[in-house]
Amino acid sequence: MTPPEGGGVKRVGFVGLGVMGGRIAKRLIDADYEVVGTNRTRERADWLIPLGLRWAGTPREVALATEVVFTMVTDSNAARAVVEGSDGILAGLSPGKILVDMSSISPAVSRRLAERVAAAGAQMLDAPVSGSISTLEEGRLSIMVGGDEAIFHDVEPLLRAIGPTVTYVGGNGLAVTMKAATNLSLAVQMLAFSEGVLLAERSGIPRETAVRVLLNSVIASPMVKYRGPFVLEQPDEAWFDVDMMQKDLLTALEMGRDTNVPLPTTAVTNELLTAARAMGLRRKDFSVLFEVLRRMSGGDQVEVPPEPDP
């Protein structure tokens, strides 16, 4: 399933053209695939139409018009909403078609949807991504894939048009399991980074200086490098908001209970995300954890410890 030679276009579908989904669809368009897509709110996807997106009114229309349909929506309920029902993707699937769900959803829900897709004679892969808008636009996105391995190889060229690192991890539901295992570390890292910045600031070091030092230190993971500056200024549009991150942490905590794996730092970080929601910050990028700590420690009151007596 490689892009056709001679200027031809391979047609694929995309349901869920939000912050990440829209940019992934653009990469497919840029790779000379014809993309048929839809989104719950059309205005968020209008920018793609002049670039070549063919708009469809419903997920069912997308599935009817294409052989491979991608989805990227916010949570398990949204995934069920676009797949099921008279206007859902299932209603437009037929034998031989493939659904590739890139959403971060519950592994149990993902497996149930895969069973329903299989009952229609089609196939489903779960293929969530690891990365951000910046890593996507720089061509460095990582994709993990669960489902039938032969079907994975069928769509692998499409996935590599989206990101260069594509890893098959096992059967249906295991990729979204891996996604939860990945995202818990993102949130925990962001909390630890925020603690370090705030501690330095309250000790008298300018926040900008603390951020610069940490971003050039051994603790600067790729995620910290691109998200760390958000403690200085939040992005205009959240890359991955508090609600979405907490959804993934709750999934991880449930998995931890099921597998008897203690997740203490995940549990603490989850509580700070609950505090963010209580402060009215649920739609902010989850890097707002710094602001939560700042408010919990007294807001704008900066107290510099006195110098010790000689």
Which residue ranges make up each domain of the chain? 10-171, 178-296
* Residue 241 DSSP symbol: B
What is the maximum alpha-carbon separation in the chain? 81
DSSP string, 246-294: HHHHHHHHHHHHHHT---HHHHHHHHHHHHHHHTT-TTSBGGGHHHHHH
Go through the chain and tell me how many residues it has: 310
Where is average pLDDT lowest: 8-12, 30-34, 73-77, 119-123? 8-12
Split at pLDDT 50, 70, 90, the class of 303 is very low
Q: Mind giving me the DSSP string for 33-93?
A: EEEEEE-SSGGGGGGGGGGTPEE-SSHHHHHHH-SEEEE--SSHHHHHHHHSSTTSGGGG-
Q: Give the 3-state secondary structure of residue 142.
A: strand
Question: Are 180 and 248 contacting, i.e. CB atoms less than 8 angstroms apart?
Answer: yes
Q: What CATH number matches the domain at 178-296, 3.40.50.1010, 1.10.287.130, 1.10.1040.10, 1.20.960.40? A: 1.10.1040.10
> What does the pLDDT average to over 238-247?
92
Q: Which of 127, 129, 128, 131 is nearest to 222 (CA)?
A: 131
Q: Give the mean model confidence (pLDDT) for residues 63-67.
A: 96
pLDDT at residue number 183:
92
Burial label, 100 (beta-carbon count in 10 A; 0-12, 13-18, 19+): buried
Asked whether this chain's domains 10-171 and 178-296 adopt the same fold, the reply is no
Q: Which pLDDT band, with edges at 50, 70 and 90, does 308 fall under?
A: low
- Mean per-residue pLDDT for 190-207? 97
Dihedral of the alpha carbons of 49, 54, 59, 61, in degrees to the nearest 10: 150
Query: What does pTM read for this prediction?
Result: 0.84
Q: What is the DSSP letter of 190?
A: H
Rounded to the nearest angstrom, the gap between the alpha carbon of residue 156 and the centroid of all alpha carbons in its chain is 19
Say if residue 307's pLDDT is above 70: no
pLDDT digits (tens, 9 = 90+) for 5-50: 333 338 999 999 998 999 999 999 999 999 999 999 999 999 999 9
Q: Is 179 a catalytic residue?
A: yes
109-122 average pLDDT score: 96
Domain at 10-171: CATH code = 3.40.50.720
Give Cα separations from 135 to 114, 131, 159, 165, 289 (angstroms): 29, 6, 15, 12, 21
Per-residue pLDDT at 245 exceeds 50: yes
**From 10, 26, 97, 179, the catalytic residue:** 179
Q: Please report where in the chains the tokens 């993902």 appear, as a residue.
A: 110
Q: Sign of the C-alpha dihedral, residues 94, 95, 96, 98?
A: positive
How far apart are the C-alpha atoms of 213 and 222, rounded to whole Å? 15
Q: For position 300, what pLDDT does the model report?
A: 58
Residue 189 neighbours by CB distance under 10 Å: 18
Q: Which pLDDT does position 47 carry in this prediction? A: 96
Q: How confident is the model at residue 132 (pLDDT cuts 50, 70, 90)?
A: confident
